[in-house]
Amino acid sequence: MIQTINFLKPNRDNIKNYSIIGTFLVLVSLIDVISNAFLKINLTSFLPGSLTTLFPLIIGLIGLNMMRIDYSGNKKLDLLNKNINTNNFNALLTLLILFSIIKALPQSLSWMIFDATISGDSKDACTGTGACWTYIKVWFRRFMYGMYPNEFHWRINTAFILVIALGFVGYFMKDNLKKYLALYYVIIYPVIAYLVIYYLISGGSFGLQWVETGAWGGLSLTFIVSFFCLIFCFPLGMIFALGRRSNLPAIKYISICYIEFWRGVPLITVLFMSSVMFPMFLPEDFFMDKLVRVIIAITLFEAAYCAEVIRGGLQSLPRGQYDAAKSLGMGYWKMHIFVILPQALKLVIPGIANTFLALVKDTPLIFVVGLAELAGMLALAKTNPKWLGFAMEGYIFASIIFWIICYAMSKYSYNLEAKYKTER
Amino acid sequence: MSDPIIKIQNMNKWFGDFQVLKNINLEVEANKKIVVCGPSGSGKSTLIRCINRLEEHQEGDIIVDGNELSEKTKDIEKIRAEVGMVFQQFNLFPHLSILDNCTLAPIWVKKMPKKDAQELALDQLKKVQIDDQANKFPGQLSGGQQQRCAIARALCMQPKIMLFDEPTSALDPEMIKEVLDAMVNLAKGGMTMIVVTHEMGFAKEVADEVIFMDEGMIIERADTKEFFANPKSDRTKLFLSQIL
């Protein structure tokens, strides 16, 4: 009797038998699922109906149960047990997830790759059962540049290359100019970038044909809107964060009102206001482009979020840092620039990255005021009578692009974190 | 008798409804070393934090080196630059190296050329014997080394007065000595010092006078020898019997 119970309880003594039998059972369950999914062969068809479907799960569970040996001495086995096989419930979840992936793989692969079409340049080419990447191919330029005239696309490309190159100037600045770095990025760089984009993409002078902002669109518009909102909302947020902690009541309450107002209204109404209501309050002869209004609206909106994130960082600094800076004779600005902000901003990198990612993913909302960036172009393209029925391909394409952008940004924020990490 | 460098007259301070300092009168002459002791919560730290206006007093006058401290004082930074302070928790700037900690204020507050500031800083770090750690960051140093760096940082501003707010209270017993040694050396150099501490050995060795505070009042002020040999008030006697 005792021996049978021992037999069911794996331990270090019978580890060899148990791990071999366990591995074998798990392998059997995996082979069953894989052959089922990929080869459409049901190895267990001799079993009654419901048991056939549950067979791999049961066998796999028994197998994992037999492999669950504490401190087996085998590093790989221990790692497996610690991470995905701590108890029966975890083992069940592991198997379910594994099986779902295996089951879903053949269909999604054949839809996305094996049965997909990419040749041709009209809807007629897409006769297969798979995805119609032809649609993306044909619309690619529209998705990237919107309604911007094809022959001028080089202007957008050149402008972007210039703006990116200017962004790297900071890395190559000489040491004696380094103290102007912040000034460069906060004021000079945005102004130059604005001029580059205005003269190259808008045109209208230097022999370049004028292209109105209504024609801008696609991914390039996503970049333009995100770029300006990001570089303006950060310093603005910093000012309001400091303002909210100010000792001067007027500044303090203005900051609080500002932050609470913008955090309280939905972005979509702000965008509506900026494009519909705002021009009504302006004098007749005063003209402000819709795109500029939208960028200002998003900047003001996101600045409020930035401000609260930065305030969190300011509050987490111990009071001693303020005392020490003051006792050395530093005034408010010197104290903040050299002592407080460098530490606080370092602490809020994850939070700021969060806000920035949200901002980039909020840009599709500008569709409501008639500006079509990537997701907006997608919405236009899918309602084109010649190309009905390919929304899925479009959304997959857009999500991949957005994922790449956002993943790059979060990776960059991790790098920054690691770079500025100091021991406390 | 020369003019006092610090002069406090009838000073009162409240935190909300609670009166922390009651009718403080204190004059400190240049080059004197004063030790302030007393039970915790007696207002010692608040008193010296008032001297460089990290805390604001509500009544009375505080005059530091001829400048009166009040809400109207415009150049409070100038006065603070002449009054160095060392804190219980060191309060080094963790994002800057030891050398940068020391040169930051001289460069940006005193507008000293960077090269001169670095020379000065290395000189001061050498005096507290951590010049070999100059390029490390505060987090990489022991508590005693950090506190010595904090002393050097304050000295780099070439202050006329040094305030110490329980500089050894957050340290291991082994490290207390190295910090006290640095302070003794500083005292021998003729600096005006006000030290809040429980280290009575240091008081006996260095202090010209000892002040005993309790419940926000200065109970007793006497020459060091007199203070330890013949304490006048009963509370001082009780305190000394507990601490010695």
Phi-psi map region of B213: left, alpha, beta (phi>0 left; psi -120 to 50 alpha): beta
CB contact under 8 A, A321 and B91: yes
pLDDT band for position A114 (50/70/90)?
confident
Do residues A67 and A18 lie in contact, with contact meaning Cβ atoms separated by under 8 Å?
yes
Measure in Å the smallest separation between the Cα of B222 and chain A Cα atoms: 29
CB contact under 8 A, A422 and B137: yes
Least Cα separation, residue B119 to chain A (angstroms): 18
Task: Break chain A into its structural domains and give their ranges.
Answer: 2-114, 134-148+211-423
The pLDDT of residue A25:
87
Residues 6+ apart with CB under 8 A from B14: B20, B58
Residue type, A352: I
Contact B93 A331 (CB under 8 A): no
* Phi (first) and psi of residue A377, to 5 degrees: -60, -35
For residues B48 and B33, what is the distance between their CA atoms, to the nearest angstrom?
14
For the stretch A68-84, pLDDT in tens is: 777 777 788 888 888 88
Q: What is the DSSP string of A54-97?
A: HHHHHHHHHHHHHH--TT-S-HHHHHHHHHH-SSHHHHHHHHHH
Banded model confidence at residue A7, pLDDT cuts 50, 70, 90: low
- How does pLDDT run across A407-422, given as a tens digit for each residue? 999 999 998 888 887 6
Contact residues on chain B for A325, CB-CB shorter than 8 A: 93
- Test mutation, B69, B80, B137, chain A, max A CBs within 10 A: B80
A321 touches chain B (CB under 8 A): yes
Pick out chain B residues at pLDDT < 70: 1-2
Enter the pTM of the model: 0.82
Q: How far is B69 from chain A (nearest CA, A)?
A: 14
Q: How far is B229 from chain A (nearest CA, A)?
A: 36
Q: CA B231 to CA B244: how far, in whole Å?
A: 13
Which chain A residues are Cβ-neighbours of B95 within 8 angstroms? 342-343, 346, 420, 422
* Closest to A388 (Cα-Cα) out of A113, A144, A132, A107: A132
8 A C-beta contact, residue A250 and residue A177: no
Interface of A with B in 345-384 (CB under 8 A): 346
Q: Is the ipTM of this complex over 0.95?
A: no
User: Could you tell me what percent of chain A has a pLDDT over 90?
Assistant: 20
What is the token pair recorded at B98?
């030891």
- For A353-400, the pLDDT digits (tens) are 999 999 988 888 888 888 888 888 888 888 888 777 788 888 888 899
Per the listing, tokens 């609260």 go with A308
Mean pLDDT of A335-347: 90
The CATH number of domain A134-148+211-423 is 3.40.50.720: no
Does residue A329 sit at the B interface (CB-CB below 8 Å)? yes
A326 pLDDT more than 50: yes
Model pLDDT, residue A2: 47
DSSP state of B11: E
| A305, pLDDT greater than 90 | yes
Tell me whether residue A199 is exposed, middle or buried, using C-beta atoms within 10 angstroms of its C-beta: 0 to 12, 13 to 18, 19 or more.
middle
Tokens read off for A424: 């406390």
H or E element that contains A255: helix A249-264
pLDDT at A51 over 50: yes
Residue B162 is given by DSSP the state E
Averaged pLDDT, A290-296 = 87
Residue A254's pLDDT band (boundaries 50, 70, 90)?
very high
Contact of B21 with B50, CB cutoff 8 Å: yes
pLDDT at A9: 62
> Amino acid letter at A384?
N
